[in-house]
Amino acid sequence: MERSVPIRSVSRSIAVLQAINRGDWLTVMEISKAVDLPYPTTFRIIQTLMHEGLVVCEAGSKRYRVTALVQSLALGYADRGSLIEVARPRMVALTQKHAWPVSLTTHVGRSMIVRDSTHTLSSLTFCNYAPGYSLPLLECASGHAFLAHLSDDERLGLLAGLEAYERRTPLLDMFKTERLVQNIRDNGYATWERNPHTQFPGKTSSIAVPVFEQGEVVATLTLVFFASAIPMAEAVRRYAEDMKATAREITAQLEAGTQGATEHAMPAEHLALA
């Protein structure tokens, strides 16, 4: 079967909706820059989203934001609560120890999606990155930590899919080779200095570590700090080991939960033989 060809207009519309969802009353120019699309194309997409009731315009300033209708897009999604349940107290403990906010993200399509965060528990943050906030897979620490810990076949397959949607970039090519991937695996973490896809681009930097279940990467933990406050090397020295230890604790509890659920589902005669 031939690989299906993505419909570029749909991909662009989703990107615009995600950009507006990340922001707070953005102008067309700000949205256009965020998604790297021409101004006229961006404007037409915004008008379509307004027609569908997903976006609203503030008449006085010509700024746009999403409406409550975007929640309807998630009605069919069944959340995997155990991951958040297990991670939440450990994320809170990290923030209490180091003061910086921590996010839990998972991979969806071309993005890493925030599932939970401790931004509301810290004064050291510019805004609250609520569940649903998305970041481009190739342009964030969490995406790099996730990609590097996939199997080679999974990683290359995902990158091939990204190429079908996006123009080729140096980062995409770098993740096709072993050098960057092995470096992240050896370190146990990924970093990104001066995050570009936030409400205040360039103001924060991040360190991300992988979380596993049944031997597969299922999420990442990301600590976000002010780029002007701490150099990356110093942040890694201070926080990376604690983050890796926390990720190992979450992984261990997820594994224990999975094993317990499997045993619970086993017939009694099988348990007797185990």
Which tokens go with 209?
A: 């570590």
Residues of the domain holding 212: 81-263
Number of domains in the chain: 2
Q: What is the pLDDT of residues 187-234, one digit of tens each?
A: 999 999 999 988 788 999 999 999 999 999 999 999 999 999 999 999
Q: Is residue 113 domain-shared with residue 174, that is, in the same domain?
A: yes
Identify whether residues 70 and 45 lie together within a single domain: yes
- Give the pLDDT confidence score for residue 5 in this predicted structure: 59
Q: Is residue 273 part of a domain?
A: no
* CB 125, CB 91: distance < 8 Å: no
Measured CA to CA, the distance from residue 51 to residue 140 in angstroms comes to 32
In a domain, 96, yes or no: yes
Looking at the fold, whether 63 and 123 belong to one and the same domain comes out as no
- Asked if 249 and 199 sit in the same domain, the reply is yes
Of the residues 23, 51, 74, which one is the last residue of a structural domain? Answer: 74
Which residues make Cβ contacts (< 8 Å) with residue 152, sequence separation at least 6?
Answer: none
**Coil, helix or strand at residue 61:** coil
Region 38-61: mean pLDDT is 90
Task: Dump pLDDT digits (tens) for 3-48.
Answer: 555 788 888 999 899 888 877 789 999 999 988 899 999 999 999 9
Inform me whether the pLDDT recorded for 95 exceeds 90.
yes
Q: Tell me: the pLDDT tens digits for 111-147?
A: 898 999 999 999 998 877 778 888 889 999 999 999 9
* Residue after which a domain boundary falls, among 74, 92, 122: 74
Is pTM beyond 0.85 here? Answer: no
User: Does residue 35 share a domain with residue 168?
Assistant: no
Residue 204 tokens, joined = 């924060």
Q: Confidence class of residue 272 from pLDDT cuts 50, 70 and 90?
A: very low
Query: Do 164 and 114 belong together in one domain?
Result: yes
